Amino acid sequence: MPEPPPSTVFLRPIGSPLTIGMSGLAIASLVQSGLDLGWIAKTQAVQVGLVLLAVPFVLQLVACVFSYLARDGAAGACVGVLSTSWLAIGLIHIVSPGSTSGALGLLLLAAGGVLALSAFATSMAKLLAGAVFLTAALRFALAGIYELSANSTWQDVSGVVGLVVCGVAAYGVLAFELEGQQHRTVLPTFRRARGELSVSGSWDGQLDGIEHEAGVRQTS
């Protein structure tokens, strides 16, 4: 009996989508924290909503699509949840500026929970990225508590944590972009396991087990 022809898998070379996703996260976190901490007048909530729709939602949506194309489902899930959550926050700022929303509170708690789970999975290979997304999950949870309780203390705490998110996301942008440009680790990104293999491993090592990945294996 003749042997079946060999299967061929085509890999598409693309840049790391983490940098554009973290850029969107840093921008959104700073703008939302400015509103939470009173740096921006409450009367500008509609403008904040428009900013969230125009910049972080778009950037993180693009990052989500390309993360899946890059075979990184965990990172894709993280930036996908972030993208749609900023969309919801932006729309509520536009529709109900300056008011709290129980529906948004529940959304933020749920988004923070699933984001934390995906962040944990991401940290198995990319510890820095996992830490950034986990901090964002904490910020969403705190914002959700504020939306449900209308207690301004939670809003202030959420705003401060948002500034931390902005800082670590900005560091992530720089670290991963330098890594991509220099093809080596310049600033610590704390890669491990398959994450480290993608930077310093051999070509054969990077392709090991590709037949079991989504898009290649049989899914039915």
> For 95-116, how does the pLDDT look when each residue is reduced to its tens digit (9 = 90+)?
999 889 999 999 999 999 999 9
pLDDT at 21 over 90: yes
CA distances in angstroms from 168 to 130, 134, 208, listed in the order given: 11, 11, 32
* pLDDT at residue 64, as a whole number: 94
Q: Is the pTM of this model over 0.85?
A: no
Place of tokens 């910020």: 139
Q: Residue 105 corresponds to which amino acid?
A: G
pLDDT at 29 over 80: yes
pLDDT at 153 over 50: yes
Question: What average pLDDT score do residues 204-219 get?
Answer: 52
For the chain, give the mean pLDDT: 85
Of 51-55, 99-103, 211-215, the one with minimum mean pLDDT is: 211-215
- Core vs surface per residue 193-206: b (16+ CB within 10 A) or e: ebbeebeeeeeeee
pLDDT at 49 over 90: yes
C-alpha span between 167 and 173 (Å, rounded)? 10
**Pairwise pLDDT comparison (93 vs 13), residue with the higher score:** 93
- Core vs surface per residue 56-75: b (16+ CB within 10 A) or e: bbebbbbbbebbbebebbbb
pLDDT at 206 over 60: no
C-alpha span between 131 and 65 (Å, rounded)? 21
* pLDDT at residue 8, as a whole number: 60
Of 27-31, 37-41, 63-67, 215-219, the one with minimum mean pLDDT is: 215-219
* pLDDT at residue 72, as a whole number: 84
Domains of the chain: 18-212 (1.25.40)
Question: What average pLDDT score do residues 89-93 get?
Answer: 96
pLDDT at 44 over 50: yes
* pLDDT at residue 220, as a whole number: 47
* pLDDT at residue 9, as a whole number: 57
- Counting other chains too, the contacts that 39-43 makes at CB distance below 8 Å and 24 or more residues apart are 42/97, 42/98, 43/97, 43/98
**How many C-beta neighbours within 10 Å does residue 212 have?**
8
